[in-house]
Amino acid sequence: MKKVSLIVPCYNEERNLDALYVKLRPLLDNGLGSREYDWEVIMIDDGSRDASLAVMRNLRQRDDRINVLSLSRNFGKECAMLAGFDYASGDCAVILDADLQDPVEVIPEMLKKWEDGYKDVYGNRETRGNEPWVRKRFTLAYYNILSKVSSGEVLRNVGDFRLLDRCCIDEICGLRETQRYTKGLYSWIGFSKSEVSYDRSDRNAGKSSFSYRKLVNLAIEGITSHTTSPLRFASVMGIVVAVAAMAFLVYVLVKTLVYGDPVAGYPTLICVILFLGGIQLLSLGIIGEYIGRIFLETKGRPPYIVASFNGANPHERPGKHAG
């Protein structure tokens, strides 16, 4: 029988996990009308500050199809997902949020597409739930920019809710960058893709851990890890400014020599200096973003650290406490 892994990254989700289990139960018991599968759930505790870990362990005691992976601190959703991929043993894996925003009922539909031969079946959000208007607008504008600056395909309204075949999981596990933008990686690895539509519901309990600051960081991460076109901005601006400066020089020369006009220098000078200063600082900032990322990646640190898996501590050596 084929095995399906459900990967659930969790950060401060104590109030959602029991409800999630109730929702997952019919699926795990093969009761949602799909074919019969072996199921495993991998809940990743991403350094939660509440009782999420205790709730997960409780669930595991009731149902040993649930596996509990605890990270040593909060590494962020992107790295928590990688941990899930590393520990998943299924022939395919479905990533879903712990807050019940991704409907479990869609999973059999994804599995059907997978059986049809698609390797990456992603959920396309028909509606986005009760998201604030500003956030919706910014997200759409961001995807517009990202699809303009990058060569790869960028899918709007597609989150992390998707099914991946074993071949995709293996390839994603091979990409060990610590500054991760997994949505970009899905399209980078390729493989045949298909979509299923769903309505994204509202969060069950608690509030989103993605503040606007975190979203802006993720957005910058998305651009810098996906494409180097912002670096070209400096070169293009340099050429544009140089050409404009030449034209202006000719204009000033003609004005002075032919018409004998005295050149009013001060305001023009200030404008030019400020304009160029701004462009230079912006270009430096863009270069800095990339250098910062080179710096972080060259350290070669692991993307996450495991504190325990199903209660076992990977750092405990046999015989360590003996004698």
Binding site for ligand UDP (CB under 6 A): 9-11, 13, 46, 74, 76-77, 80, 97-99, 101, 203, 208-210
Other CB atoms within a 10 A radius of the CB of residue 290 amount to: 14
Q: 10 Å Cβ neighbour count for 115? A: 12
Closer residue to ligand UDP, CB minimum distance, 219 or 286: 219
The number of residues in the chain equals 323
Beta strand 66-71 pairing with 38-45: parallel
Assess 67 for contact with Mg ion (CB under 5 A): no
Rounded least distance, CB 178 to Mg ion, Å: 23
Beta strands in 128-244 (DSSP E): 158-165, 193-199
Which lies closer to Mg ion via its Cβ, residue 131 or residue 289? 131
Query: In the structure encoding, which two tokens stand for residue 227, read together?
Result: 């494409």
CA angle 181, 128, 223 (to 5 degrees): 25
Name the minimum Å distance from CB 183 to ligand UDP: 12
Q: How far, in Å, CA of 98 to CA of 94, rounded?
A: 12
Distance between CA 245 and CA 237 in Å, rounded? 12
Give the shortest CB-115-to-ligand UDP separation in angstroms.
Answer: 27
| Shortest Å distance, C-beta 82 to ligand UDP | 11
Instruction: State the binding partner of 157 from ligand UDP, Mg ion, none, CB within 5 to 8 A by kind.
Output: none
Candidates 88-96, 100-108, 124-132, 313-321; binding stretch for Mg ion (CB under 5 A): 100-108
Contact 176, 303 (CB under 8 A): yes
Q: Which stretch binds Mg ion (CB under 5 A): 98-106, 126-134, 148-156, 288-296?
A: 98-106
User: Minimal distance in Å, beta carbon 292 to ligand UDP?
Assistant: 20
The β-bridge relationship of strands 66-71 and 306-309 is: antiparallel
CB of 180 to ligand UDP, least distance (A): 12
**Site size with Mg ion, rule: CB under 5 A:** 3
Beta-strand relationship, 3-10 and 66-71: unpaired
Of 78 and 165, which has the nearer Cβ to ligand UDP?
78
Closest approach, Cβ 173 to ligand UDP, in A, equals: 18
One residue of 13, 78, 99, 102 binding Mg ion per CB under 5 A: 99
59 close to 25: Cβ distance less than 8 angstroms: no
Burial of 316 (0-12, 13-18, 19+ CB in 10 A): exposed
Among 12, 67, 70, 101, binds Mg ion (CB under 5 A): 101
Q: Could you report how far apart the first and last alpha carbons of the chain are, in Å?
A: 46
Kindly tell me which of 50 and 316 has the beta carbon lying closer to ligand UDP.
50
Radius of gyration of the chain (CA): 26
184 binds, among ligand UDP, Mg ion, none (CB under 5 to 8 A by kind): none
Q: Which residue is nearest to ligand UDP (CB)?
A: 208
Residues in touch with Mg ion (CB under 5 A): 97, 99, 101
